[in-house]
A and B are shown apart, each in its own frame.
Chain A
């Protein structure tokens, strides 16, 4: 057993290309640093899309509410609210 430990201690260790490994480490750390930025950019883009959709649907909603208002008017044979609205436009 002690012989085995001695051989283990004396085992020749072949060094790798440390410069090449450093390059790989730097690449991986740069990727790691990019991740939070990408996440931030992604969330900003998502927020913009949400805001855009909100305002878009809001404006759609306005049109809908005008139409709803027009459509909700009591039907009058003498006055066609829809056609009046269209012709007024």
Chain B
């Protein structure tokens, strides 16, 4: 299968998912590139045992969660360095980086990467629990509990925002 064909046919699918998952233009573009670099690398090994969409979703989900975890670690380290006075306070809080007009995404910040991905797959992509479990390679029970927890957190955040 040709990479350009895969890119042209699935660019919007990937973009739609990651644009709600990360909050700034730079992060979206970085993550988008990371996803397609992984696709480019893995494409020769794709045997067509699953649907190409499923395969692309899987790569996007894994890359997205890893990207967000890495960001969290960097933010934690940055905060630590700032608090200890090693680095000057730059106030680069992610909440300030969320694009204007996208305050809608702000409540999603309070979720951890896995919960955020699960709620987006369940509510925006309208996948059922089994599909999400398959895509994320985790048990259905884990999906269910994470979705429940994510909804609880979001409810509080949405109420606060309103």
A interface residue numbers (CB < 8 A to B)? 1, 4-5, 7-9, 11, 13, 15-16, 18, 21-22, 24-25, 28-29, 32
Q: Tell whether, in the assembled complex, residue A24 and residue B104 are in contact, meaning their CB atoms are under 8 Å apart.
A: no
Which secondary structure dominates chain B's binding surface? helix
Say yes or no: B37 contacts A25, CB within 8 Å. yes
Judge whether B57 is part of the interface by a CB distance below 8 angstroms. Answer: no
Extra 11 A-B pairs, beta carbons < 8 Å, given A1-B154, A16-B32: A1-B151, A4-B158, A8-B20, A11-B102, A13-B16, A16-B15, A16-B28, A21-B11, A25-B33, A29-B37, A32-B41
Chain A residues, Cβ within 8 Å of B7: 18, 22, 25
From DSSP, what is the main secondary structure of chain A's interface residues?
Answer: helix
Compute how far the CA of A28 lies from the CA of B40 in the bound complex, rounded to whole angstroms: 11
- Chain B's interface size range is 20 to 34
- List of B residues within 8 angstroms of A8 by Cβ: 20, 104-105, 123-124
Question: How far, in Å, is A70 (CB) from chain B's closest CB?
Answer: 63
Q: Which residues of B contact A4 (CB under 8 A)?
A: 104, 107, 154, 158
Is B12 within 8 A of A15, CB to CB? yes
When C-beta atoms are compared, the residue in chain A nearest to B4 turns out to be A22
**Distance in Å: Cβ of B27 to nearest Cβ of chain A:** 12
